[in-house]
Structure 1
Amino acid sequence: MTPFARVFARHNQMADIARDDEPPRRLRLHRRFRDLACGDRVELDTTGEQVDHLLERDNVLVRRDGFGRRKVIAANIDCVWIVIAPEPAPSRNLIDRFLVAVLNLPARPRLLINKQDTGPAAPPEWLNAYRQLDLEPLYVSAKTGYGLDDLAAAAAGQTNILVGQSGVGKSSLVAALLDQYGLTDATAPATGELAASGEGRHTTVTAQWFPLANGGAWIDSPGVRDFTPEIPSLDTLERGFPDIAECADHCRFRDCRHQREPGCAVLAAIDSGELPAARLQAWHDLAAEIPAQTRARG
C-alpha cells in the first residue's frame, strides 16, 4: 500500500505536502482539490509531484466568510485549543462560536490561557460558565515556559490546533514547544507583537502543520477577530450549547425559542443564576444567522 502524504499548509493553488519524515514540498494542485486543507491525508501520483487522491477525513474545521462561503481551516483534528490571554481582551462571543464548530466535528475543545508569565492570574468570573462544560482552563506562558510541560503532556499523541484572536500568542506557543520539546524537523512559525491598538497582527496567514516526535502534531492557525461557524440547522446549534440544550429538555413547549415563552426552563435557569445570560444571548445571535447560511448554501 502506498503511504499517504500529509498536507502541511495550503497556499491558494499550491500546497506544502510531505510523506513520512521527508521535508514538505510545494506542489501545484488540480482544481478538483480546491478544498484541500492543512492536516489532510492524500495519495500522490507515481511521480510524487501531484495529488492523486484525497483520503477520507475524520473531521474538518470550517467557517463561513463574510459572503457566506464555506472555508476549510484544517482537517483530521483531535483537540481544538481555544487560546485567550489578558491582552487582547478575551471575547466570550468568540469562544461560544468556536465551541459550536468544535462540538460538531466531533473533537475535544480545550481552553488555554496564555501570557501567564508569573503563574495563573485570578480567572475572570465569567469563566465559570465554561467550567460547567468541562472546560477547565490550562494556564501557560510562551514567554517563560510556565505550564508548557502540562500542555505538552495533554497534547501528546494527538492532532492539536490552536485557534483564537490575533495577538494571543498561538504562534509563540508553537515556537516554544518546538524549541523545548524537540519536535520533528520543522520551521518555527513567525511571531509578531501586539499592534499599538492592542489587536494582534496577522503573522500566521494560513494553517500550518508541525509534527510531534511522538506521532501527534500541532496546527497553528491564523488569528481572527470574528468567527462564523457553519450552522445548517438548529440541531447543529444545540450541539454547540449543551448547557442550554440540557435545560431546554424541561421547557413546557418542545419548540420553545427561549425568549418569552411561559414555562421556559432556560430562562428560569438564567433567573436562578444556573446559566449566564451571555450564553443565551450568543445562542440567539447564532440562531438568527441560520436563515442567511441556508440561503447562501442554496
Structure 2
Amino acid sequence: MSRVARVFARHNQMADIAVDHEPPRRLRLHRRFRDLACGDRVELDAVGEQVARQLDRDNVLVRRDGFGRRKVIAANIDCVWIVIAPEPAPSRNLIDRFLVAILNLPARPRLLVNKQDTGPAEPPEWLAAYRELDLDPLYVSARTGYGLDELAAAAAGHTNILIGQSGVGKSSLVAALLDQYGIADAMAPATGDLAASGEGRHTTVTAQWYPLANGGAWIDSPGVRDFTPEIPSLDTLERGFPDIAERAVACRFRDCRHQTEPGCAVRAAIDAGELPAERLQAWHELAAEIPAQTRARG
C-alpha cells in the first residue's frame, strides 16, 4: 500500500523524504522526478523505498538562473517572508523581483526585518511605499529573540518560506524558531556569518523543510544576490506590480508602457509622489526580460 510523504530537501538525484512524523530518509529518484522540490507531496511505493508518484502542487516558487534556465526552489507555499537586515544593505530592486514571483504563486508576501537586537530601529523611508501592498514589516532578532513570539504566531498552521540576500540571517531565524517552538535540535539548520566584504556567505545550499510542532512548516532557502522571476507574459508582470496595474487602467492608451506616452496615469502618480519611481524602474527592467524568457522556453 502506497503512503503519502513530504519532500524535505532535494540533493541532485537524491531527496530527503518523510512520512507523517517519521524522520526523513534519503532516497534515490528516478529521472522522471527531476523537477521534484522541497515541499512537494509524493506517494511512495509499498515498501517505502521509491517515489511512485508526484502529487499535484498548489503552487511552486521558481526563478531563472543566469543562463535563463528554470530553477525550482520549493512547492506548496502559503506565505513568503522576504528577509532584510541592516547588513547587508537591503535591495529595493530585489524586493520588487521577489514580489513578482510571490504574487503569481499566489501566496501572501510578508516583510521581515532581522538583526533588530535592541528593538526596531527607525525604518528606512522607502519601506513606506510597500504598505499599500500589505507589506508592513515585522521586526525580529534571531540573536535576542525579540519579535519571535509574534513571528511564530503569524506562521502557525502555514507553510512559510524565508527568502532574501545571503547573510540576512534566514537560517539563524529558523534555528531560533525551532529551538523555541519547534522540533529537535538535530534538524536545526547550519548558520554562518557575514563575509569580510559585508556580503553574506551561502550557508544554506538547498531549500530545507522544517515541520512545526503546532502545525505548518518553515522552509529555509539559499541566500541570493540577485533574483529573476519567471515572467512568461505581461499579465504575469502586472500581477507582481498591483500598485502599477491599478493606476494603469487610467492611462489614455490601453497598451501604455509608461514611458513617454501622453496621458500616462502611472507616471502622473510618480510625479504626484503617490508611487516611487523605483517601482516603475523595476517594472521596466523586468518587462525587458520577457522576450528573452520567451525564447528560452521555446
Fold shared by both chains (TM-score > 0.5): yes
CA contact (8 A) 1:210 1:217 kept: yes
Superposed, 1:1-298 pairs within 5 Å as 2-183=2-183, 187-298=187-298
Structure 1 runs not aligned, ≥5 long: none
SS of equivalent residue, structure 1 residue 262:
coil
Deviation for aligned residue 1:47 = 1.7
Coordinate RMSD, CA, aligned? 1.0
Deviation for aligned residue 1:214 = 1.8
Deviation for aligned residue 1:66 = 0.8
For 1:185 and 1:174, locate their aligned partners in 2 and report how far apart those are by CA, in whole Å: 11
For 1:147 and 1:2, locate their aligned partners in 2 and report how far apart those are by CA, in whole Å: 42
Specify the code of the residue in structure 2 equivalent to 1:44. L
For 1:110 and 1:44, locate their aligned partners in 2 and report how far apart those are by CA, in whole Å: 34
For 2:9 and 2:254, locate their aligned partners in 1 and report how far apart those are by CA, in whole Å: 45
For 2:229 and 2:134, locate their aligned partners in 1 and report how far apart those are by CA, in whole Å: 21
User: 1:187-236 CA deviation, whole Å, 9 max, x = no partner?
Assistant: 11000000000001101000000000122000000000000000000000
For 1:169 and 1:44, locate their aligned partners in 2 and report how far apart those are by CA, in whole Å: 35
Inter-CA distance 78–186: structure 2 relative to 1 (3 Å threshold):
farther
For 1:145 and 1:175, locate their aligned partners in 2 and report how far apart those are by CA, in whole Å: 11
SS of equivalent residue, structure 2 residue 74:
strand
CA contact (8 A) 2:59 2:105 kept: yes
CA contact (8 A) 1:233 1:290 kept: yes
For 1:245 and 1:27, locate their aligned partners in 2 and report how far apart those are by CA, in whole Å: 45
CA contact (8 A) 2:3 2:48 kept: no
Deviation for aligned residue 1:182 = 3.2
User: 1:211-267 CA deviation, whole Å, 9 max, x = no partner?
Assistant: 001220000000000000000000000000000000001000000000010000000
Specify the code of the residue in structure 1 equivalent to 2:72. V
For 2:70 and 2:193, locate their aligned partners in 1 and report how far apart those are by CA, in whole Å: 30
SS of equivalent residue, structure 1 residue 243:
helix
User: 1:67-116 CA deviation, whole Å, 9 max, x = no partner?
Assistant: 11111000000000000000000000100000000000010000000000
CA contact (8 A) 2:4 2:41 kept: yes
Deviation for aligned residue 1:184 = 5.8
Deviation for aligned residue 1:271 = 0.3
Specify the code of the residue in structure 2 equivalent to 1:12. N
CA contact (8 A) 2:3 2:45 kept: no
Larger CA deviation: 183-192 vs 217-226:
183-192
SS of equivalent residue, structure 2 residue 263:
coil
For 1:182 and 1:159, locate their aligned partners in 2 and report how far apart those are by CA, in whole Å: 14
For 1:102 and 1:134, locate their aligned partners in 2 and report how far apart those are by CA, in whole Å: 13
SS of equivalent residue, structure 1 residue 15:
strand
SS of equivalent residue, structure 1 residue 172:
helix
CA contact (8 A) 2:247 2:266 kept: yes
For 1:290 and 1:88, locate their aligned partners in 2 and report how far apart those are by CA, in whole Å: 29
CA contact (8 A) 2:2 2:45 kept: no
CA contact (8 A) 2:2 2:48 kept: no
Inter-CA distance 40–184: structure 2 relative to 1 (3 Å threshold):
farther
SS of equivalent residue, structure 1 residue 126:
helix
Deviation for aligned residue 1:40 = 0.2
SS of equivalent residue, structure 1 residue 132:
helix
Specify the code of the residue in structure 2 equivalent to 1:117. D
CA contact (8 A) 1:186 1:210 kept: no
CA contact (8 A) 1:18 1:24 kept: yes
